[in-house]
Amino acid sequence: MSNTLTLTQQLIAYRSLTPLDEGCLPLISARLAAIDFKIEMMRHGNVDNLWARRGESGPLLCFAGHTDVVPTGPVEKWHSDPFTPTIRDGLLYGRGAADMKGSLAAFVTSIEKFVAAHPQHTGSIALLLTSDEEGVAVDGTVRVVQALQARGEKMDYCIVGEPTSVAKIGDTIKNGRRGSLSGTLTVKGVQGHIAYPHLVKNPIHLASPAIAELAAVEWDKGNEYFPATSWQISNIHGGTGATNVVPGTVEIEFNFRFSTASTVQALKDKTHAILDKHGLSYDLVWVLSGKPYLTPRGKLVDAISAAIWKITGITTELSTTGGTSDGRFIADICPQVVEFGPLNATIHKLNECVAVADLDTLSEIYYATMVNLLTNKT
């Protein structure tokens, strides 16, 4: 049984439902402390965070991830207990196996191997781990990043262990993510009896032309790495529940998934310009969940791509699809951020699993990446 498999099983056994850690970080910290990492626990609210670093010089390569997992769903529909790691037909089952306790285990075992082989390696290695990624994500990675910013500590490279592979381990890495900007638009009208249209102003009718224009706008054309920015309505709320009353307001919730081809301010300005053009009386509350980030081809992308090729023979694909990740916070203090981990086919599902063989492959890829970045060897 491999070290990576054993550690993954130990981590799965902790019921670390977000935002609880339940012992994962102490287990990892003990192993890192044994190879001369400086350990800092940063607790915010009810969230446990870890910043661990070995070395003082640059470049600094950070591995980032989370110990928390999403709820299991109906336990009776799992083929085995979700917190009892179980191997069947070459697959390791358990909540968090793919997202992302397998990656965390591979981080640790690859670092242990690297430090043993290269005790005087150049630069520094760090881990940034949190128990608040699957939830609201306000006391996790973002808090650690703020603390590092306050003391002027920056990273050169960061690998986030999100499950990015699609069909085979190593076939896809994420070199960026779109931003997420949400708005709650309240269009105001005049409530009244539906039989007296001359005495009312129907806010649903008033908003409709503006909605149509917002849906038709080409916000940008995207770029080499990102698709065009998308504007989508998620919810519309209007009406009193009665069939004979025109409502006084309609509330429209929408979201931009936007690329680096647009800025937050430009999206806001254009939205307000369209609403104003249609003469609407409205309130609009904005919430920025995450800015887009992008790591073009360079040292980190080249290093991990070469490592994947060496270990698997696969030419990896760069992708920016999917939702947000904690990479959006880390990009504030790190110019090169990528995400790479095991297959994502079962994440958040019943019977989440990871191929046992992929765990050692993942550890070997992380190890080879460190060799490429922190030694003079290739």
Residues designated as active site: 68, 133
Q: What are 252's strand-pairing partners? A: 185, 236
Contact 16, 68 (CB under 8 A): yes
State how far the alpha carbon of 367 is from the alpha carbons of 61, 92, 100, 303, 377, in Å.
12, 22, 18, 11, 12
> Could you give the 3-state DSSP secondary structure of residue 358?
helix
Q: What does the alpha-carbon distance between residue 167 and residue 295 come to, in Å, rounded to a whole number?
A: 23
State the DSSP code for 137: -
User: What values do phi and psi take at 168, rounded to 5?
Assistant: -135, 145
Q: What stretches of 80-225 show up as alpha helix (H) in DSSP?
A: 102-117, 141-150, 203-216
| Sheet containing 230-238: order of strands | 230-238, 249-258, 179-188, 282-290
Which strand (E) or helix (H) includes residue 337?
strand 337-339
SS3 content of the chain, % helix, strand, coil (to 5): 30, 25, 40
> Could you give the 3-state DSSP secondary structure of residue 370?
helix
Contacts for 294 with CB less than 8 Å, ≥ 6 apart: 175, 176, 225, 226, 260, 320
Contact 104, 110 (CB under 8 A): no
